[in-house]
Amino acid sequence: MTDSVTAAEPGTSPSASRRPWWPPALAGVLALALGLAVAEVIAGALGRAETPVVAVGEEFIDLTPSWLKDLAIDLFGTNDKTALLVGMAVVLVALGAAIGVLTARRRTAGIAAAAALLGVAALAVWSRPDSTGADLVPTIAAGVVALPVLSWLVGKAAQPPTVDDAQPAPRLTGPSRRSFLTAAGVTAGLAAAGGLIGRALGARRLGVEESRDDLAASIDLPRPDVPSGVDLVVDGAQPWRTPTQDFYRIDTALSVPLVRAEDWSLRVHGMVENEVELDYQGLVDLGLVDRWLTLNCVSNEVGGNLIGNALWTGVPIADVLALAVPAADADAVLSRSQDGWTAGTPLDVLTDGRDALFALGMNGGPLPVEHGFPVRMIVPGLYGYVSATKWVVELEVSRFDDFEAYWTTRGWAERGPVKVASRIDVPRGSADVEAGTVAVAGVAWAQHRGIAAVQVRVDDGDWADARLADVPSSDTWRQWVWDWDAEPGEHRLQVRAVTADGEVQTGDEAQPVPDGATGWHTVTVDVG
Ligand SMILES: Nc1nc2c(c(=O)[nH]1)N[C@H]1C(S)=C(S)[C@@H](COP(=O)(O)O)O[C@H]1N2
Ligand SMILES: [Mo]
């Protein structure tokens, strides 16, 4: 027997039992692909972000238990979304193939299964926080196209084969095979074209990029010149200013929210004397400031790179809250993004005079869409998950007792002050270095408290003070370097920092969950 022969179903003719399984499977995959491609085109044309694929992926992200999410970030880092899309593609191919095979055997059951699959996608679209009835249109169109195409293509695939006796095994050959392959080829071509057109339309969705370009011209953004003395420029170390394209990205959005600056507004409500609604120009008119601030993720492991430092341009959050006048018994602000993500931030942190900003510029350019265009929050001294809401559209002045924010319902702490930490950038772990003077260098951070000292030790020896670079404020990370007289052999380097208010970084090791990792970054090197 060969792989082109399926097992006979009771009551089916011998010729049916000798039909290969792959043509209906291929038909199922292609019908589904065409339907989803049509959905992408229509979503792009309508300027909708929710396609069936995107909505299912986002629901999946929101429904996955936190341990699995943490594992995915661990395994794939910032490629976690690519990994999810690849995983979804594999599942879709398998489902499409199964539906095709089922349709060849029992047409109504197969078509019902395909309809059920799209029904699940429609439910996912409907459950997205920002979805409206119009967001269902692409998914409905997918069904309108995919179901008839499935029936038609499987019909062609399942036509009785011309049995070719010259072949060692029965195969689909002759006119019926050619006709199926032509139909399959046309469907595949249309699906590919649809996918490309959908992407092209999607890329320009709502003209958000144009909106960014307009701002670059109309708003006075600073040149992101690095202050003198902050960058030690050690070979192989990270630059003090993180280039925008290298800045880490963490969020739950599979398709980024697309909001034009001219359509954006911010609503401040809840426990306030005055409800405030600001549009983009209204926000800008409050007065822009430029600040160097370091942002990091609570999921960052010891030695990890979910941290970046940039020049942010924006409006102090305190200025906006002052217009609203929070009630005396309020202690928190729940911020909400356009796609429904939330963060809970202590009210006193937002009003104690630190540079907590509604940022609209990053490193001298308009905020990139992935980093929250048109407006995001950033609060020095707090991890991103409790403060740095991207695509922010709403502030609700409230009490911590009265709400739970996105990550707090998933096992992370309610409060997320940044823990003092330090990292060795060079030499890299398991590097081979030459004996002699070796520059050991890296960064340390304790935003808003400041770094007073960084110490390095070798093989559990005495702690030695590193030389610190300058910083413009206590709100950024601080570079350090220490000249090591390296002797041949394997050595273990460790770093710890001391804050300006006297806290010595603990060597106790803790995982990122629930409120940030601790422990000394340790690097082992081979000196030759
Ligand atoms: N709307 C929205 N804002 C968000 C998030 C999110 O998932 N959605 N993630 C937060 C987290 S956990 C971090 S660490 C920072 C990361 O900001 P960045 O992607 O600009 O580096 O954004 C925060 N703001
Ligand atoms: Mo984060």
Q: List, for residues 258-286, the tens digit of each pLDDT value.
A: 899 999 999 999 999 999 999 999 999 99
Non-local (6+) Cβ contacts of 82 within 8 A are: 76
pLDDT at 75: 84
Same domain, 181 and 80: yes
Same domain, 254 and 394: yes
Closest C-alpha to ligand 1, atom 12: 385
- Tell me the C-alpha distance between 477 and 480, whole Å: 10
The vertex-486 CA angle with 462 and 456, nearest 5°, equals 35
Q: Best substitution site from 66, 244, 249, 251 to test ligand 1's pocket, by max atoms within 8 Å of Cβ? A: 251
Same domain, 373 and 253: yes
Residue ranges lining ligand 1, Cβ < 6 Å? 247-252, 295, 297, 337, 341, 371, 384-385, 388-391
Query: Does residue 225 belong to any structural domain of this protein?
Result: no
pLDDT at 424: 98
Query: Does residue 298 belong to any structural domain of this protein?
Result: yes
- Tell me the C-alpha distance between 113 and 109, whole Å: 6
pLDDT at 58: 85
Same domain, 354 and 259: yes
pTM exceeds 0.85, yes or no: no
Query: Does residue 215 belong to any structural domain of this protein?
Result: no
Query: Does residue 415 belong to any structural domain of this protein?
Result: no
- Ligand 1 atom closest to the CA of 252, numbered from 1: 7
SS3 250: coil
Which residues form the domain of 164? 2-201
pLDDT at 159: 72
Same domain, 261 and 183: no
Q: Best substitution site from 246, 250, 409 to test ligand 1's pocket, by max atoms within 8 Å of Cβ? A: 250
Query: Does residue 230 belong to any structural domain of this protein?
Result: no
Taking the CA of 307 as reference, the closest ligand is 1
Helices 22-46 and 174-203 cross at an angle (nearest 10°) of: 20
Query: Does residue 440 belong to any structural domain of this protein?
Result: yes
List the chain residues with pLDDT less than 50.
1-16
pLDDT at 176: 80
Which residue in 355, 359, 356, 378 sits closest to 368, CA to CA? 359
Ligand 1 centroid, distance to 18 Cα (angstroms) = 55
CA separation, residue 137 to residues 44, 77, 147 (Å) = 11, 34, 16
- Percent pLDDT > 70 in the chain is 92
Which residue in 66, 45, 361 sits closest to 204, CA to CA? 45
Same domain, 353 and 502: no
Same domain, 388 and 480: no
Ligand 1 centroid, distance to 377 Cα (angstroms) = 9
Closest C-alpha to ligand 1, atom 21: 249
> Structurally, how many domains does the chain consist of?
3
CATH of the domain at 304: 3.90.420.10
Same domain, 462 and 406: no
Same domain, 256 and 354: yes
pLDDT at 7: 41
CATH of the domain at 460: 2.60.40.650
Show the 3-state SS of 381-417. CECHHHCCCCCEEEEEEECHHHCCCCCHHHCCCCCCE
Tell which of 410, 430, 458 closes a domain: 410
Ligand 2 centroid, distance to 422 Cα (angstroms) = 18
Same domain, 477 and 363: no
Same domain, 89 and 176: yes
Query: Does residue 218 belong to any structural domain of this protein?
Result: no
Same domain, 134 and 169: yes
Query: Does residue 217 belong to any structural domain of this protein?
Result: no
At 78, which amino acid appears? T
Do 115 and 31 touch, CB atoms closer than 8 A? Answer: no
Tell which of 201, 226, 254 closes a domain: 201
Closest C-alpha to ligand 1, atom 6: 251
Tell which of 390, 410, 430 closes a domain: 410
Which residue in 375, 374, 41, 341 sits closest to 209, CA to CA? 374
